[in-house]
Amino acid sequence: MKDDQTPTGRRRLLRIAAALGATTTVGLFTVDRTDAPGPPTATAPAPPSPAPPPAPAAGAPASPRLAPTAYRLQPMTSYAPPRFRRALPPVRQRPFLRMAGAGNTMVLTFDDGPDPRYTPAILRTLRAHGVRAMFFVCGEMAAQHPDLVRRMADDGHVVGNHSWSHPLIPKLRPSRIREELSSTSAVIEQTTGSAPLWYRAPFGAWNRHSFEIGAELGMEPLAWTVDTLDWKEPGTGTIVRRVLDGAGPGVVVLSHDAGGDRSQSVAALRTYLPQLLDEGYHITVPRR
């Protein structure tokens, strides 16, 4: 018998082993499929499957040799189907302004961060009341303060994309829009393990290219219902009044945790959040 020939019995055993290996791997992926969320809804979020690792750059050294045991497993795992990936959202013509059909719920959102001067205090207040919110982070801020982005995700908050440098999107070329959004998504995914599912255009200024590129990156556009205008620093009481006067089912509130002096925003949250809860509102985050 030649060295490259395999006895019939041995071939049969290899086929059985390969089948068992493939079945085990498919079973693991089946769990991922079962847990994966369905189409976009207005209830609670679930993270997407992590993206596959990037291919090595041209000329980069080859990956280290696999240990013998891992190498022997490769032919078996090669029978597995590709990892489940979330379907891309449709290209919208306008952003969501509120959460339709959400019952007596509201969504609190904070833009421009993270900022170590204000974001930690906002996170502490939200945690004290057992509330989740959405943070639309700028990529340049997220890259400087990854620990705060990680804290957002660890506390169950939704981390959204607010561009890299907060430009006026309609004045940018499509290639620059893609760079602003994709770079920020990459930082968020690298920091939290999950790519963002929502994005918000700086200044609320959207255009067709931003909707198209956002959808290609797997994100839905979310605007707001109530603007606290806290960036103008109108006073803590004014911010509180605007939130309470605008409260209602499905309302999305816009505030900021960076981009200037946000001490009024921090103080206002401590006041209006317990009042909203006392009035029977459920503060939640959207689910896709």
- pLDDT of 103: 81
Give me 211's structure tokens.
């909707």
Write down the catalytic residue from 145, 157, 162, 256.
256
- pLDDT of 147: 98
Query: Structure pTM?
Result: 0.72
Whether pLDDT at 223 is above 90: yes
pLDDT winner (highest mean) among 4-13, 29-38, 56-65, 97-106:
97-106
Cα(245)–Cα(40) distance, integer angstroms:
29
Give me 55's structure tokens.
């291919």
Q: Are strands 220-221 and 251-256 parallel, antiparallel or unpaired?
A: unpaired
Is position 111 annotated as part of the catalytic site?
yes
Average pLDDT over residues 25-47: 32
Whether pLDDT at 73 is above 60: no
Write down the catalytic residue from 3, 111, 245, 261.
111
- pLDDT of 1: 43
Q: Reduced to 3 DSSP states, what percent helix, strand and coil does the chain have, rounded to the nearest 5?
A: 45, 10, 45
- 51-60, 157-166, 202-211: lowest mean pLDDT where? 51-60
90 phi and psi angles, rounded to 5 deg: -70, 160
Residue 4: burial class (beta carbons within 10 Å; 0-12, 13-18, 19+): exposed
Domain ranges of the chain: 9-34+66-82, 105-283
Cα(163)–Cα(170) distance, integer angstroms:
13
- pLDDT of 126: 98
> Which is more confident, 40 or 223?
223
What sections of 36-138 are H helices per DSSP?
Answer: 68-77, 119-128
- pLDDT of 14: 37
Is position 245 annotated as part of the catalytic site?
no
Average pLDDT over residues 111-121: 98
Cα(211)–Cα(71) distance, integer angstroms:
44
Whether pLDDT at 186 is above 70: yes
155 close to 120: Cβ distance less than 8 angstroms: no
- 15-19, 146-150, 157-161, 173-177: lowest mean pLDDT where? 15-19
State the CB neighbour count (10 A cutoff) for residue 200. 24
> Which is more confident, 237 or 7?
237
Average pLDDT over residues 267-282: 98
pLDDT winner (highest mean) among 9-18, 19-28, 210-219:
210-219
Confidence label for 165 from pLDDT (cuts 50, 70 and 90): very high
- pLDDT of 100: 82
Average pLDDT over residues 252-271: 98
State the CB neighbour count (10 A cutoff) for residue 184. 27
Confidence label for 85 from pLDDT (cuts 50, 70 and 90): low
Cα(253)–Cα(283) distance, integer angstroms:
11
Architecture of the CATH domain 105-283: Alpha-Beta Barrel (3.20)
71 phi and psi angles, rounded to 5 deg: -60, -40
- pLDDT of 102: 67
> Which is more confident, 111 or 50?
111
